[in-house]
Chains A and B, each alone.
Chain A
Amino acid sequence: MKKQLLIISSLLGVALTQPACNKDFLDRPYQREIEDKTFWTNANDANLALNACYQQIDYGEWSIYDDGKTDNAHAQYPWESAATVISAGDVTSANNVDWSFESIRRVNNFLDKVQDVPMDADLKARFEAEARFLRAFRYANMMNQFGDVPIMTFLPDLTNWNVPRDKRADVLKFIIDELKAVAAVLPSSYGGSQYNEVGRITKGAAVALLARVYLYEGMWTEAAEAAQQVMGMNYDLFKVSEESASDAADDYSQWVDFANADEEKRFRLGLRSYEQQFWAKNNNNVEVILDRQYLEQKDPKYVNTYLLSDDLGGWSSVTPTQALVNDYMSFKTGKPVAALDPAVRAQRYENRESDPTFYDEYKNRDPRFYASILFEHAPWNTITQGYEFTWIPGGNNCSRTGYNFRKFVDPAAWQAGLDNYANHPIIRFAEVLLTYAEAKTAATAAGTQPEASVYDALDRIRVRAGMPVIDRAEYNTAAKLMPVIRQERRIELALEGQRYMDIRRWETAPNVMTTIYNISNGLAQTRAWSDKLYLMPIPLSETDKNPNLLPNNPDY
């Protein structure tokens, strides 16, 4: 009996501990991500990796905050972006403005791994060109902000990431070389089939970016040449030929003294053409050279919320300054309008119920003013029937300046209760025309008249906006024309992020980055300029880890 018990129990004991001897049960395929070693096998894998590079394409809706760093706009919430602290002149190395190499690494990883992927050689070359463009674009933006930045064309590992900064001139050369190289490979358009989807980087994008880079550097001849090359491609300014019923309901006759029906039509279609190019229904229109593509519901942008005021469910995150309002030219003459004395405006605002002279300031302005700015009693039937904007001073989620932006707001998405999903322009044809005009004019001796193509380019923009053309007789020298070009650029490209570099390269920032006031002359934001703001600081957290990045930019 005892023996039997012993045998039974030994067997049971062995049986119980037996399963633990097999170690295979510790292995099971990982089911959350893809293993790198099983990837990179075909064109589709390469395409997937390239798509991930697109995810990090610079800009898009954040361009509105770049204008918040300038005299165009006030970004009132410091927690939304660095624009508030930069515009106040308080930026320090404790802030990380935009120091990031994530997108660069993605591209480098793609370029590194795609080498061994068996696929069509031409497609591979094009894929590589798209990726290299994205890297060059990122570098252009980094260079604009930080000056010297390390050029990373390799995949850093744990031993070699702590590189020093390369000289700005070297970075510039790298960007230009890369853009020239990819422009030679990229197609001018895409048919829409697999791997050829509309929205990918085109040759036009590469050349247009090159034009922008040259312009920023003051390389006028090159800039004009590149711009001219793009002007020879199939791009044009976007236009509409008729108004919708709700648009037609806006009564502009009380704002503009229309001479006749034609003038009114010119005004109205100019306004609509300008504003509707930014609507989702006109995605991928003829004017787009490079944009950040958005997707309804799945990948929207939030400009409707950032820009609109509380009454439309917005936050008034970025709002127009009086200085921007002042720069919208006369619809009647096409020439600048003298700015009103702030004290007078405040007085008139105070008495606006009894004395309508307050509204005179908003009359007979560039149609783009009405398309871009919400001012006191601005009509907007497309957003809500009978809507008129009213500023609530000090109100929750209301503007600090007295104005809100309307440019970039897509009423259709707002109506549907959705977030805005219109593609956001990065480079559009109007910028190329302006680049051409500026570069050509700058390359012209101050006292001589720029060639007619300069005026033609500017007139194309004016005509699309419903504005009178440039008075070639009055602005008959480069010196006279240049301020008009700059003002035109500011108006046309408002909120598109260009102003940040414009006031720096023109060196007008010290004059324009001053404290801003609202329409009743109350303080909106205290601003101060110091020359350190030409460049942004390398973040302290980065220089701590990598002292090779030092010295920091001046005065940080």
Chain B
Amino acid sequence: MKKIRLGGDSLPYPILKVFLVMKLAFLVVLVSCMQVSAGVFGQNTHLSLKAEDMKFSKMLKLIERKLPYRFVYSTDLVPSDKKVSLDVTDASLDEVMAKILADTDLEFKLISKKLIVIAPKASDIQEVRVKGKVTDSSGMALPGVSVRVVGTNTGTITNGSGEYELSAPGNASLEFSYIGYLSQTVAINNRTEINIKLADNSKGLNEVVVVGFGTQRKANLSGAVATISTKSISNRPVASVQESLQGVSPGLTILNRPGDVGSESNITMTVRGRTNLGSPGPLIIIDGIPVSNREFQSLKPSDIESMSVLKDAASSAIYGSRAANGVILVTTKKGEEGRTSIDLNASYGWQSPTRHFEYLGSYDYATLYNEALSNAGKDPKFTAEQLQYFKDGSRPDEYPNTDWYKEALVKNPALKDVNLGVSGGSKKSQYYLGLGYLGQESLVQNKDLNRYNLRLNASSQVLPILNIGTNISFIKQDRDTKGGELNWVALNRLVPSMVAVHSDGTWGTINGGSADATLAKDNVLRNMAEGGRGYSRDNITQAGLTAKLTPLPGLMIYGQGSLKYNNNMSFAFTNTLPPLINFLTKEEMTSTRVTQNQMVERWSRRQETLIQGYAEYEKQIKAHHFKLMVGASQERNLYRYIAGGRLNFPNNQAGILDLGSSVDLPTENDSYYGTNVPLNRSYEEFWGILSYFGRINYDYKGKYIFEANFRQDYSSRFHPDYRQANFPSLSAAWRMSEEPFLRNATFLDNLKLRASWGILGNESSTPLGNYLDLLKYGAVYSFNGTQVNGAYQDRGVNIEASWENVYMTDFGVDATFLKGKIDVVADYYIKTTKDILVPITVGNTYALKAPTVNQGSTRNKGIELAVTYNDRIGKDFTFSISGNISKINNEILNLGEVNERISDKWIERVGGSVGDFYGLQAIGLFVDDADVANSPKQASATKPGDIKYKDQNGDKIIDANDRVVIGNDVPWFNYGFSITANYKGIDFSILGYGVTNVETYLDNEASYAFFNGAGVKPLHKNRWTKENPDPNADYPRLLLSSDGQHNYNNNNSFWLFDASYFRIRALTLGYTLPEKLTRKASIKNARLYVAANNPFTIMFDDRLTDYDPEIASGRGGYPGIKTWSVGINVKF
């Protein structure tokens, strides 16, 4: 065997002959095996054989046939034409082998009971220069790998391209070690090139985590970054990605307000708790491009390659002024070199409400109504005879029992989801094509949503140093309402004594025996059937171009440009309707007509342009590893809206404005402009942001890790003099497990301590145009039948209004034990938000909306803990259990010139928490007249059975001075768990999520009996009555809402309910068909599954029988949805 000796002063990267590479690699493995089993040697098997001039290889095969041994050797060692002769009888293996190897430099070793290795004799020992490349299992270069000569202190570390070079004795061994990978020891055997593939040690550590403007190995992270596996979010029957993120990562709180199909503003995400006094969400970035919640919602989970949540300041400061509430980075799938692979997933689901809104039937309604009237000293409404009709249902056209929710909603609307992913490519070009369809029917009977997704990610190495990529995505979302919109307020006010449809098929007109024009007109069934029609068409088109230059080893220059259009169009037509006919008198009920039809059409377009670039340089100098990144970006966002509407079309089929009357343009209320704004209008919104950013990474042997980030932002939201803001951050980590004193702790695979500090900004609290002294303009009045416009001041201006700043300090531990069986991530952080924009406290005499000033401050101290346990029982059963908790202690530190601000039910008070409820403390219900007389004075209407309030200041009068903090509505404590298990082809997973120690204030329809004419709920049955004057009853004495204001109007703790809940968020059971079956159909993998979203919910307050914990107010609206689905997943 030829020995190659390298010159010490030759080129750093000399060109080598490659003929040995492949085979040597094979040998390396063998030799390393020998090393392990060197001590085990011995044989007693004997052989008789005679052969002449037999090929060496054939000879060994012959021996293999006769003896229970297998030979391994490198054909390089033995010339292929070498022939040997043998003639032995009952010879020992030693004798046989000695004869065969007689005239070679080879020797043999039995390394296991059956394996014999033939290898060169370790004779002449000389120093060799070894070089090579270390890669991970996927062939990616691993920089920073420690390469050590076994038994010595000499060694080196791989450079940025994963290459190393050192001198060592030819018979020595090299140990390759690197965080997160299994160490390997390889005998040099005088070789000059040894390339190594390191195998993953414990999953996770080697995961490449997407961070801001780049990637980082998890092991090298010094900030708090959570990665969300695509496994935990795919194949869930949900209509948005956000829904699938709940409970997956501690500190990421997602509140999913139930909403009708395609509604967009109902999901709020917070990272590490609300800190400012509003509640903005994290910045979401898909493939480097910031996106809105709506776009994130429309993203197909199956298109997602990876997702990172940047939680602390160190990791998110690179996003500066929009990162105050964390950053979610999403990377979509890329193609891979190799055979085209096709991934098809299809599912069909059945949706239903998590909780039904429950109203009592007409008999209970009428009975309790009478009770409520008599409690107020008024005459009962329903006679005994009428009550009997309700009870026996004998006169359904006059005394019905209508369950309006049941009538208005569909039982099990479908959720259809089909995704197709195609990927592949050559060595130079790769692509991923994702196609998706989501069809969601609404619980509202006449509505549905159809969404089509297309995503094409392609990249091509056009030059050796230049890679060009494109991200193209298109989303089309159609919502259709085949009829009038469901009016939820009307639905909640429709009482069970009102007829829905009469026996003769006409729409209901009779309520409890007499005609009721108001409710007849508000009949939601009629309006859904005949009221009109509507649709919306949303398109999001995005084209992104990336260029990656790698001109020098370690240097990468990355440029990205993207253009995105978000086009929305909506159409609504309200029909004219004829009057209903009174069922009893057969006369027209004139006021139930709709005399004018109308049409409204709205268009909007958001154009977002982004240009950004950065350069990254990575260098390994001995044990020191550096990475430097600098970049810049600019973003522009331009929104334009136009709406048009007309009245009085010739018929209800008309669909264009031209057909309407030219003079009557309806007005509408607008959250920005106020009431009675002409509908025909357009407006524009613009913002831009310009940023410079940079990062330095340094680590020593992967053991001591440092990172510094810096970002400078200029935002158009602020006055030109106050536009610049700087956001620095620092972080460090210590991989204790790499220290010699822990190296031998076999139970410990990884232990890393992290610390970070940084500043983040929040610009979203500042409205556009904030620093300008503006006059509102629009129609204000009319003179003699002619509308006139006007201009007026509306709000005070503070031109200095600027960013809110978040200062965050984070301490964290990452630990892995028992060969990756147990994984723990824990963080403690202090997140102080300063310069919160708080409206200046002004009295009404100032008479404008108060300007906001950067003067508030809050602090969140929180802990996050995530623990995972993986194990295997027997051969086939593997499982993983993980749990996470997040606890936040929030304190308001400063509110500017005042110490407290009260708004409605809430108080913000220095020393208190965001979300504190403020009101009277209820201490049960009054038992009798004496109780009322002997208690501090409340309202004049207060009677036995009303809520009793605590006289906090002891002045014998219950008034506003007796208000105290009575609860809090922010879930500061969240927990989640998941279990996954696999047994042969069966897989199972369950994901649970809960919050505790949180209250909700339910009022109006949610909890008040007969609220403004509405019905009664099961809660109201457990009321205080004269017969059973229970001071702890679930509900005070029944009163109509106009009579019970003293119980309702005071914000008080009686209406606070425990909103703690635990919810099984997701459930999946899958079965992968045996490969034997699928291979015949040339299918790589086929899996059938049943999945559920939100299947079970436990509420901790048993009074909450019909309340979904995530619903906004409980006043009755689109309910929370649970979905069961079946699906199939096929890979070709």
Contacts and interface: CB of A to CB of B under 8 A. Distances in A.
B780 interface: yes
B559 A199 contact: no
A527 to B, nearest CB: 9
A33 B769 contact: yes
Given A17-B613, A49-B792, A384-B590, A105 B848 contact: yes
B404 to A, nearest CB: 14
B774 A30 contact: yes
Interface string A281-308: 0011000000001111111000000000
B316 to A, nearest CB: 20
B517 A12 contact: no
A318 B988 CA distance: 63
B17 interface: no
A392 B514 contact: yes
A549 B785 CA distance: 41
A315 B493 CA distance: 13
B672 A294 contact: no
Nearest to A299: B676
Contacts of B842: 158, 161, 545
Contacts of A283: 784-785
B632 A105 contact: no
B516 to A, nearest CB: 5
A54 B789 CA distance: 11
A177 B843 CA distance: 27
Given A12-B549, A26-B714, A520 B791 contact: no
B1042 A90 contact: no
A55 B685 CA distance: 27
Contact of A23 (B664, B690, B1046): B690
A487 interface: no
Most buried by B among A15, A57, A394: A394
A542 interface: yes
B1012 interface: yes
A445 interface: no
A397 B517 CA distance: 9
Given A394-B380, A395-B516, A396-B518, A12 B559 contact: yes
Nearest to B1049: A78
Interface stretch (A3-11, A203-211, A235-243): A3-11
A8 B940 CA distance: 86
Given A78-B1045, A526-B377, A298 B595 contact: no
B734 to A, nearest CB: 35
Contact of A162 (B514, B615, B845): B845
Given A158-B796, A545-B842, A39 B672 contact: no
A19 B379 contact: no
B845 A109 contact: no
Contacts of A522: 378-379
A192 B785 CA distance: 11
A92 B638 CA distance: 49
Contacts of B656: none
B84 to A, nearest CB: 52
Nearest to A156: B846
A315 B594 CA distance: 17
Interface string B822-860: 000000000000000000111111111001000000000
Interface in B673-695: 676, 678, 683-686, 688-692
A310 B786 contact: no
Contacts of A412: none
Given A32-B685, A394-B381, A48 B790 contact: yes
B769 A541 contact: no
A100 interface: yes
B783 A27 contact: no
B219 to A, nearest CB: 29
B495 interface: yes
A55 B549 contact: no
A93 B768 CA distance: 36
Interface string B581-601: 000000001111111100000
Interface residues of B, number: 116
A150 interface: yes
A36 B773 contact: yes
Interface string B775-819: 111011111111111111100100000000000000000000000
A187 interface: no
Contacts of A37: 773
Interface residues of A, number: 110
A16 B546 CA distance: 10
A489 interface: no
Interface string B366-386: 000100010011111110000
B789 A39 contact: no
A49 B791 contact: yes
Contact of A79 (B688, B776, B841, B1012): B1012
Given A51-B780, A55-B780, A523 B377 contact: yes
Given A35-B773, A52-B790, A158-B851, A25 B379 contact: no
A545 B782 CA distance: 36
Contact of B793 (A105, A528, A544): A105
B716 interface: yes
Given A48-B789, A158-B851, A311-B517, A28 B784 contact: no
A200 B788 CA distance: 12
B844 A100 contact: yes
A216 interface: no
Contacts of B627: none
Given A51-B789, A417-B595, A526-B941, A17 B1042 contact: no
Nearest to B793: A109
Given A30-B769, A158-B796, A522-B379, A17 B845 contact: no
B791 A310 contact: no
A72 interface: no
Interface of A: 5-6, 8-10, 12-13, 15-17, 19-21, 23, 25-28, 30-37, 39, 45, 48-55, 57, 76-79, 84-85, 88-90, 92-94, 99-102, 104-106, 109, 150, 152, 156, 158, 161-163, 192, 197-200, 283-284, 293-299, 310-315, 383-384, 392-397, 414-418, 520, 522-524, 526, 528, 540-542, 544-546, 549
Interface of B: 369, 373, 376-382, 465-466, 495, 511, 514-519, 521, 547, 549, 551-552, 555, 557, 559, 589-596, 611-615, 631-634, 636, 638, 647, 664-667, 672, 676, 678, 683-686, 688-692, 714-716, 720, 723, 768-769, 772-777, 779-793, 796, 840-848, 851, 902, 939-941, 959-960, 1012-1013, 1041-1042, 1045-1046, 1049-1050
Given A16-B557, A36-B773, A52-B792, 13 more contacts: A9-B551, A10-B551, A20-B692, A23-B690, A32-B672, A32-B683, A50-B790, A90-B941, A158-B851, A293-B783, A298-B787, A540-B960, A542-B843
13 contacts: A9-B557, A19-B634, A26-B723, A27-B716, A32-B769, A33-B777, A36-B793, A94-B959, A99-B844, A101-B844, A101-B845, A298-B779, A397-B516
Top-6 shortest CB links A-B: A313-B591, A417-B595, A394-B381, A52-B790, A16-B559, A16-B613
